Amino acid sequence: MNVIQAIEGRRSMRGFLRQPVSKEVVESILQTARWSPSGVNLQPWRVEVVMGDTLSKLCTRLTVLAEAGVSKNPDYSFHPHLWKEPFLGRRRACGFGLIDAMGIEREDAVGRRQAWLANYSFFGAPAALLLFMDRSLGQGAWIDMGMFWQTIMLTAVAHGLGTCPQASVADYPDTVRELLDVDEQYMLLGSLALGYPDPQAQSNTLRTSRLNVEEFATFHE
């Protein structure tokens, strides 16, 4: 598989086999991802790899908070405070596409909520990568983190694994930091659910659309 195939073939997976992912495979993925570019070689990434009993504890704590409706206190605002087009329409299309793929009726509020709560258990993935960044860094480091995040996802594809990038688990950063013993200086950006994709999972059939090149690029000659 070449890099173009990995990029065009990657999609967010929300259904995983029970097959575990070995520590050695995760280490191999991170060995590759560490070569991601960063401004003046800051390498701002910090990764907490969560598996086994610790992952079970984290899933339980996050799910309990979400089910109880505890107020979210993320370290940053992932979404805009006011949605406008065309972004609102794209967001809705993605959400409706997912529940349609899962066979959940749009009027089924309970089913939709259960589907959302699955975020906090990393969709049953056997491993999760929690991504942190030092609070003192500037906005350029956010770009670095995005490139690092993407490199992990593409490298996972090369290993036959699937991922789902998530901002939802950053809703309760204090809980995550406490369990993983991470200093307050590090802000939680999000996570990657990591595992072997379940070919039978309906959610994995979703393939979101992309703009054509002429819709987002202007050539100046």
Strands (E), the chain: 45-51, 127-134, 162-166, 186-195
Radius of gyration of the chain (CA): 18
Give dist(CA 125, CA 13) in Å, integer.
9
| Per-residue pLDDT at 73 | 96
Q: For residue 213, what pLDDT is reported?
A: 97
pLDDT tops 90 at residue 1: no
Average pLDDT over residues 3-31: 95
Is the Cβ–Cβ distance between 170 and 191 less than 8 Å?
yes
- CATH number of the domain located at residue range(s) 3-204 in this protein: 3.40.109.10
Cα-based angle 212, 218, 221 (whole degrees, multiple of 5)? 135
The two structure tokens encoding residue 111: 């089913």
C-alpha 137, offset from chain centre: 21
Tell me the average pLDDT of the chain.
95
Mean pLDDT, residues 128-145 taken together: 97
Domain range list for the chain: 3-204
pTM of the model: 0.93
**Per-residue model confidence (pLDDT) at position 49:** 98
| Separation CA 147–CA 151 (nearest Å) | 6
Dist. CA 213–CA 31, nearest whole Å: 33
Distance from C-alpha of 206 to C-alpha of 60, rounded to nearest angstrom:
27
The pLDDT assigned to 26 comes to 98
Q: Which two tokens stand for residue 29?
A: 């993925």
Mean pLDDT, rounded, for 170-187: 98
The 10s digit of each residue's pLDDT in 23-53 is: 999 999 999 999 999 999 999 999 999 999 9
